[in-house]
Structure 1
Amino acid sequence: MSRTSRARHILSTRDRSPSLRANQPLAMATTAAMLSAAARRFSRSASTIGRREVTDSHILTIDGYAASRKIPRNWWSRSPPFEAVDHRWTIKYFPNVASCCFEGHISFFLELEVDSFYGVHRITDPVDFKFSLLDRAGNAAHSRGVEGHVFSEATKVYGVREFMAWKDLAKSGCVKDDAFTVICDITVSQDWTKVDDEDDTGGGGGGAETPAAPRVVVPPSNLREHMNDLLWKKQGADVTIHVGEESFDAHGWLLMARSPVFEAELLATPASKEKLPGGVRRRVEIKGVDPKVFKAMLHFMYTDALPETMEEEEDETVVAMAQGLLAAANRFKLERLKVVCEEILCRHIDVSSVAVTLAVAEENGCHALKAACLEFIARPGNMKKVMETEGFEKTKDSCLAGMLDVAMKQLAS
């Protein structure tokens, strides 16, 4: 290229450059807007959701080893209440477990403490807990536990029936000064919590502010307490129910709301012309139900909970009551009560009760309870023991089919 043409080229470029410089601010503004829009479009925030397990422990010393061995069946003692994993608990100690299947064994049960006489805290996450016998150095020498139990009003007591045989405890070397010590470890998974929050674009999407602590504390519901008072104080009761030799006053509107069977019965029952204290009442007679069972069922209909006294009874009494309540719940279409009783009976299956429980399950269409009974009977040696019980003699017509099925499966295997 000649010097003249090179000069013309340079001049031509210089002639164009002022217009480019004039348009530069507009171009920069357009680019900035595009980048800003893109940043808004592709900006992302990130968080981590974490689930953490919290474990607390309680050490319990059993003083009086020699005396405990002489305690008869069905006797138990409770530890003082203690706090663990944000709840209040006690430990029940059975020196000789009530069930004949586990005779000669120590049992420990964990109990969720009641908030008041009408309710308990509910733990929605499964709880793992274990009891460990401590040696003289404080180390666990023997452990038994439970995984994934959900404590609720219906299942507030749960534990290990066969924690340890007395003969094994005597050989363990863990007894010192006529006492031994166990530790209860309780583990619960905390609710999902937000543990990290940051904006990966470097601005505009930072972590959320921590909400201020509430200034007003809402007390727990006391509806159950009021409903319990409504039942036993009989204020406004307009129905009298005769069960055997006993009578119960109740409120027709509640009975009809809770049970379609009662609804049909009361709608078909004219009010008595006889004026009683509190006004005119309808009279209903219930046959085929034990008065104690009906009283417990009526308590459940008002409060949606079983009487607390059931937890304090001996195993045999609890089983008999649950069997009667299950049949009554099925008769009066109280589905939740039926499931609650089914769960209680599943926890109390043993040689002496399984035949009657199986018959109750068959008669009332409780498939899960029936399966649990047959599984227990199918264990080696159990069928013969069950057939020798008084309960089997009374109910063999109802439970023979299921037991025969178990026997056939055992022969085929």
Structure 2
Amino acid sequence: MRLLHQGAGPSLSVHKEASKVFDPNDSSRFSAVKIKRSLFEASTYLQDVRLIIECILTIIKEPWVTTTKSFPKIQVPPSDIGEHFGRLLETKEGEDVIFSVGRVVFTAHEMVLAARSAVFRADFYGPMRERGTEPIVIEDVPPDVFRGLLHFIYSDSLPPFEDLEADDSCEMLRHLFVAADRYAMERLKLICQSILCENLHVQTVATTLALADQHHCDMLKDACIEFITCSNAMDAVASTEGYKNLKRTCPSVVIEALEKTSKIRKADQIILS
């Protein structure tokens, strides 16, 4: 904004605004301009009680963007179905099936187990089902593992492992992995594989490799062999008890690992030479 000289003199700049983005939703579109009294008293700018102000407005055009008015949003909490089903298992309301696992008794709901496991569904509602009030005896599954299996069936989450040492936690995961395979719980099986894969180390990799081979889990099996070969840990692994058991039970897997290790070492020798 400039005061214009009403004679032939130069105009005088009195105010300059910084660039501003105008928002149609913003009601504050006005600027206050303060001009010193001494400028009004100068006859060159104020004549016959008349003041001439020139306003120069530069418009910088931008692509037109249609603004969307924001409306209040209603927050939806995360799903709590697992919490409700978990509470159903804890309160034991309406349970209609009894399991005997290593002299420990567990009660559950047929419908819930059948909905989560095709194996349980066949046991309860298939043509070979056996009706009766006697407890169903579960063999070859430790009670703590079966408790963890029920926990996952009802809550879709792993049981807490905070009270377990690292080795015990790994052992529990292996047992849950086997139980998941037995009862066709594919999500639980994948979760166990993922955690076992992330926690491979020299002392346990051979045992995990044997487990992966026995239950036809190719991704976990490949990860174990990759760990042994790429970390140059073959000598250390070979001295573990798990590797000795692996040689007895799964000799073909040992041969596969040795062959891959040999190929990698030969490739390294060629590169070095």
**Is TM (by shorter chain) over 0.5?**
yes
Q: 1:300: which partner in 2?
A: 152
Q: 1:284: which partner in 2?
A: 136
TM-score scaled by length of structure 2: 0.68
Q: Would you say 1:382 and 2:233 are equivalent positions?
A: yes
Structure 1 residue corresponding to 2:221, chosen from 366, 370, 373: 370
Q: Would you say 1:270 and 2:122 are equivalent positions?
A: no
Q: Would you say 1:238 and 2:96 are equivalent positions?
A: yes
- What does the per-residue CA deviation read over 1:169-195, in whole Å, with 9 as the maximum and x for residues that have no partner? xxxxxxxxxxxxxxxxxxxxxxxxxxx
Distance 2:101 2:140 in 1: 8
The code of the aligned residue for 1:291 comes to P
Q: CA deviation at 1:245?
A: 1.6
Q: 1:57: which partner in 2?
A: none
Distance 1:345 1:380 in 2: 17
Q: What SS does the corresponding residue of 1:237 show, helix, strand or coil?
A: coil
Structure 2 residue corresponding to 1:207, chosen from 66, 78, 83: 66
Q: Would you say 1:318 and 2:169 are equivalent positions?
A: yes
Report the aligned-residue RMSD: 2.0
Which residues of structure 2 form unaligned runs of 5+? 1-61, 267-273
Q: CA deviation at 1:315?
A: 1.9
Q: 1:327: which partner in 2?
A: 178
1:83-94 equivalence runs, <5 A:
none
User: Taking CA–CA contacts closer than 8 Å with sequence separation of 6 or more, which of the two structures ends up with the larger relative contact order?
Assistant: 1
Q: What SS does the corresponding residue of 1:378 show, helix, strand or coil?
A: helix
Asked whether the equivalents of residues 269 and 284 of structure 1 are also in contact (C-alpha less than 8 Å), the reply is no
The code of the aligned residue for 2:187 comes to R
The code of the aligned residue for 1:212 comes to F
Q: 1:255: which partner in 2?
A: 113
Q: CA deviation at 1:325?
A: 0.7
Distance 1:341 1:350 in 2: 16
Asked whether the equivalents of residues 352 and 386 of structure 1 are also in contact (C-alpha less than 8 Å), the reply is yes
More helix by share: 2
Asked whether the equivalents of residues 322 and 345 of structure 1 are also in contact (C-alpha less than 8 Å), the reply is yes
Which residues of structure 1 form unaligned runs of 5+? 1-196, 200-205, 273-281
Which structure is larger by alpha-carbon Rg, 1 or 2? 2
Structure 2 residue corresponding to 1:356, chosen from 207, 228, 234: 207
The code of the aligned residue for 1:284 comes to I
Q: 1:114: which partner in 2?
A: none
Q: What SS does the corresponding residue of 2:201 show, helix, strand or coil?
A: coil
The code of the aligned residue for 1:336 comes to R
Distance 2:87 2:224 in 1: 38
